[in-house]
Amino acid sequence: MSLVTRFAPSPTGYLHLGHAYSALDGWQRARKAGGRFLLRIEDIDQTRCRPAFEAALLEDLAWLGLDWDGPVRRQSDHFDDYRTALGRLAAIGVIYPCFCSRKDIAAASTAPHGPGPNDLAGPLYPGTCRSLSPDEAAARQAAGAPFALRLDVAKASALYGPLDFHDERAGRMAAQPEMLGDVVLARRETPCSYHLCVTLDDDLQGVTLVTRAEDLLAATHIQRLLQALLGLQTPDYAHHKILTDSDGTRLAKRHGATSLRDLRAAGMAPVEIHRMAGFSG
């Protein structure tokens, strides 16, 4: 089977050195193996994603000397795909509406915080709405109460035996989707979530090796369950190290990491960026 990797940034800011590492990792693996390297724009968050950031990241990748195979897949162009997948999960009874706000969850949860950054972190959902009767849930929805759709992890896991996946550094791992709790699969403002979209996209694009930072390893556990539920292929995974600054802080947009555009404006050449990211250029 031909190797297929991908780089899947969100256009919510400018790319930094950590992004360059992820992109170069997937690109070099594919090119050395004579495989394919794909580019996907994960822009389901319409409140934070900007066309200007997408244009900038395409420019930065080209400046780095990276090319990709086939058209760019933009998640915002494929909401129907995600709705269809969500409908399949609803049909087998493994999702339920949740009317809790983030504040409600924080107040009610006594569970530890989930692993990972951004939407993967925070208190684990305590299952408050899991026991609502269908009539009560329908009444709340009919009344216009805002809600999200969550995956009933325990119910979904009971449909299968033990699941596992292979990570390049950690080896064969038993899937433990319960570590992230009943994750959100869709919200009122968006018909899908990170977990649902990335799982479906990797299958639809034929990705055979997912290369991404190790802080997303926890997400793989829930995505392995979604693969089983939707009858999707399970790729191999290579969760690489996280790049940090001189103080040991993870490079991230929200931490104001120096962008590739700034480094380029300072006169740095692409080969220097390759070397800074740990590649030979």
pLDDT digits (tens, 9 = 90+) for 199-220: 999 999 999 999 999 989 999 9
> What is the value of pTM for the model shown?
0.89
Catalytic residue among 32, 103, 155, 253: 253
Helix H or strand E encompassing 207: none
Q: Is 155 a catalytic residue?
A: no
**What pLDDT score does 116 carry?**
46
Cβ atoms of 185 and 193 closer than 8 Å: yes
pLDDT, the chain, mean: 89
Of all helices (H) and strands (E), which one includes residue 132? none
Q: Given this model, what pLDDT does residue 123 score?
A: 79
Distance CA 217, CA 265 (A): 34
pLDDT for the residue 257:
64
Rounded-to-integer distance, Cα 156 and Cα 182, Å? 10
DSSP strands (E only) in 129-219: 148-151, 164-167, 171-174, 184-187, 209-213
DSSP 160: S
Which of the residues in the chain have pLDDT under 70?
Answer: 1, 109-122, 243-257, 280-281
Phi and psi, residue 50, nearest 5°:
-135, 140
